[in-house]
Chain A
Amino acid sequence: MANIISDETIEYVGILAKLELSDKEKEQAKKDMGSMLDYIDKLNELDTKGVEPMSHVFPVHNVFREDIVTNNDDRDNILKNAPEEKDGSFMVPKTVD
């Protein structure tokens, strides 16, 4: 494997992605990510110098809304699926400030 994924990298990506992996999962993730990156490195065979990165396939642009209020109070629906709620708000573990 050309791409060796370190413990630190897996730890770091876990923080970014908010995923907690067991030690066994971490080993697997290191292997999977390494071999995926090896595979993806195939792209380096391609000369893409001067090629504009293409995020949208079609030249659609300027899709806008007018500044008009269209939504009413929909709180009951918005909170319907909340795991925990209180006083019309979503309840979460205390955020440290």
Chain B
Amino acid sequence: MAKYETVIGLEVHVELATKTKIFCGCSTAFGGAPNTHTCPVCTGMPGSLPVLNKQVVEYAMAVGIATNCKITQNCKFDRKNYFYPDNPQNYQISQLYLPICRDGRVEIELEDGTKKTIGIHEIHMEEDAGKLIHDEWDDCSLVDFNRSGVPLIEIVSEPDMRSAEEVNAYLDKLRLIIQYLGASDCKLQEGSMRADVNLSVREVGSKEFGTRTEMKNLNSFKAIARAIAGERERQIDLIESGESVIQETRRWDDTKGYSYAMRSKEDAQDYRYFPEPDLVPIIISDEWLDEVKSRQPEFRYEKLERYKKEYEIPEYDAKIITESKHMADIFEDTVAICNKPKKVSNWLMVETMRLMKAHELEAEELSFSPENLAKLIELVDAGTINGNVAKEVFEKIFLDNIDPVDYVDKHGLKMDNDVDGLKVILEKIISDNPQSVEDYNNGKKKAIGFLVGQAMKETKGKANPGVINKMIQEMLDKN
């Protein structure tokens, strides 16, 4: 098998984070009852006409700039004609002849640290289709146009990838760029980021490309990896047995673990593109382009470098924190309040990560406020609560974003710093545990730990263990 090389190109669809659809003023919000976010335009009513959402153009430009594309300063829309019930006009408004971005590239980094450049052929704007729900009861399908007209960009890569690892690194890179831009939340599972995989195989060393197939319906990183492995194997089997690969669109069934051809006689795949007469050209002036460029945010790499230099955060930690724009935002906002970058980083790296894992949450789903994390850090630093209590309080912040000051107050979690009261307790513990005292006096200094533990138990964890340790030591040494 090793003599074959896999050649992969990706078509990535990203749903843009606009408030309204690409050609009408309907909301793009998820979760409405069927057809409640629709109007004559996005349901293809006779006589309705599209008007372009400016934000879509700006998001597309921003993604293009961030992926080193050339921006097509005179671009326009075309109609892609095909019949399907989720496509209300039976044409999709898309871009073929003059896509908004062309000739870009991004750099990906693999596990072993090697870097590779993946070319971007083009990025174009288009409208999403509606949703079909299959009704087993009535043996029919039901059409919901709530998603019809949601703006998409399609990012078409060059066939520059050679493995599932490269594909995942590329997707991750795109996800980071687009999330940093705020142009989309890029959730693969929820369909706001979707990838079609174009794959062919060829003998290692061959300059010619093999015949490629296009695989659709890949909705997780794992599914993509499995589909690549499966399709590679299928194509190699065909070639080895003397058959040839047919250029076609295939649908990946992840539960069954194989792909099957989607083509039917009625699906001629001849889209009869022509310039959309209902929309006028988009002319992007140098000024407009500069304006969008000037609004580009600090991207992951720059942020990472800055964290290392400005906050003296270790590279590993900085990488993890900047892996998600949302996490990086929490970090920076918290630091802005408390000015303790290392402590903030520590809370994110240890407790936040632990809880995310325990609750199976993505970084994007973190919902606690920087204010509350900052307050918590202050409470610990001021000696108001001890480390163990702080962890307990943080869990509450993590889950319900509670105000830690109120919470500590209400639940009486403040550390006991009443020295006289503590002294009484400690004296009792010392007299109740002669064995430990004897051990200590005999040089087993570790025996003090047991006494500290007893004291913590007695004070219900509110005492500062450091203080207790010191006090017991003094008391024993005095004896």
A–B: direct contact at CB < 8 Å: yes
Chain B interface category by residue count: 35 or more
Select the stretch in B131-139, B197-205, B367-375, B399-407 that faces chain A: B131-139
Task: Specify the chain A residue showing the minimal Cβ separation from B135.
Answer: A86
Shortest distance between the CB of A13 and any CB in chain B (Å):
10
Question: A92 an interface residue at 8 Å Cβ cutoff?
Answer: yes
Shortest distance between the CB of A14 and any CB in chain B (Å):
10
B270: chain A residues at CB < 8 Å are 16
Interface residues of B, dominant DSSP? loop
Question: B436 an interface residue at 8 Å Cβ cutoff?
Answer: no
Q: Quick one: which of A71, A86, A89, A96 contacts B26, CB cutoff 8 A?
A: A71
- Chain A, range 52-67, C-beta contacts under 8 Å to B: 55-56, 60-67
B3: chain A residues at CB < 8 Å are none
B34: chain A residues at CB < 8 Å are 75, 87-89
Question: B359 an interface residue at 8 Å Cβ cutoff?
Answer: no
Q: Evaluate contact between B20 and A63: CB separation under 8 angstroms.
A: no
Contact with A along B77-88 (1 / 0, CB 8 A): 000010111000
Question: A46 an interface residue at 8 Å Cβ cutoff?
Answer: no
Question: A18 an interface residue at 8 Å Cβ cutoff?
Answer: yes
Select the stretch in B279-287, B325-333, B437-445, B460-468 that faces chain A: B279-287
Contact with A along B37-69 (1 / 0, CB 8 A): 111100101000001111101000000000000
Q: Evaluate contact between A15 and B266: CB separation under 8 angstroms.
A: yes
Question: B191 an interface residue at 8 Å Cβ cutoff?
Answer: no
A73 to B282, CA, bound (A): 30
- Chain B, range 262-311, C-beta contacts under 8 Å to A: 264-266, 268, 270, 272, 275, 277, 279-283
Question: A49 an interface residue at 8 Å Cβ cutoff?
Answer: no
Task: Specify the chain A residue showing the minimal Cβ separation from B17.
Answer: A67
Q: Evaluate contact between B142 and A78: CB separation under 8 angstroms.
A: no
Q: Evaluate contact between A69 and B33: CB separation under 8 angstroms.
A: no
Question: A94 an interface residue at 8 Å Cβ cutoff?
Answer: yes
B18: chain A residues at CB < 8 Å are 67
Q: Evaluate contact between A71 and B280: CB separation under 8 angstroms.
A: no
Question: A36 an interface residue at 8 Å Cβ cutoff?
Answer: no
A15 to B35, CA, bound (A): 29
Question: B210 an interface residue at 8 Å Cβ cutoff?
Answer: no
Shortest distance between the CB of B166 and any CB in chain A (Å):
30
A90 to B270, CA, bound (A): 26
Question: B140 an interface residue at 8 Å Cβ cutoff?
Answer: yes
Task: Specify the chain A residue showing the minimal Cβ separation from B26.
Answer: A71
Q: Quick one: which of A12, A68, A88 contacts B20, CB cutoff 8 A?
A: A68
Q: Quick one: which of A67, A74, A86 contacts B38, CB cutoff 8 A?
A: A74
Shortest distance between the CB of A76 and any CB in chain B (Å):
10
- Chain B, range 235-278, C-beta contacts under 8 Å to A: 251, 264-266, 268, 270, 272, 275, 277
Question: B141 an interface residue at 8 Å Cβ cutoff?
Answer: yes
Question: B143 an interface residue at 8 Å Cβ cutoff?
Answer: yes
Most buried by B among A16, A67, A75, A87: A67
Task: Specify the chain A residue showing the minimal Cβ separation from B19.
Answer: A67
Question: B158 an interface residue at 8 Å Cβ cutoff?
Answer: no
Question: A91 an interface residue at 8 Å Cβ cutoff?
Answer: yes
Most buried by B among A60, A71, A74: A71
Known: A16-B272, A78-B35, A95-B84. A64 touches B43 (CB 8 A): no
A69 to B40, CA, bound (A): 15
Contact with B along A29-58 (1 / 0, CB 8 A): 000000000000000000000000001100
A60 to B76, CA, bound (A): 12
Question: B422 an interface residue at 8 Å Cβ cutoff?
Answer: no
Q: Evaluate contact between B141 and A88: CB separation under 8 angstroms.
A: no
17 other A-B residue contacts (CB within 8 Å) besides A89-B34, A90-B35, A91-B142: A61-B282, A62-B280, A63-B52, A67-B53, A71-B26, A71-B27, A78-B35, A78-B39, A78-B43, A78-B45, A88-B33, A88-B36, A89-B35, A91-B143, A92-B85, A94-B139, A95-B85
Residue positions of B touching A, CB distance < 8 A:
18-20, 24-27, 32-40, 43, 45, 51-55, 57, 76, 81, 83-85, 132-135, 138-145, 251, 264-266, 268, 270, 272, 275, 277, 279-283
Residue positions of A touching B, CB distance < 8 A:
12, 15-16, 18, 55-56, 60-71, 73-75, 78-79, 86-97
Supply 11 A–B pairs (Cβ within 8 Å), ascending by A: A16-B270, A56-B277, A62-B280, A65-B25, A65-B51, A69-B19, A70-B25, A86-B142, A89-B142, A94-B134, A95-B141
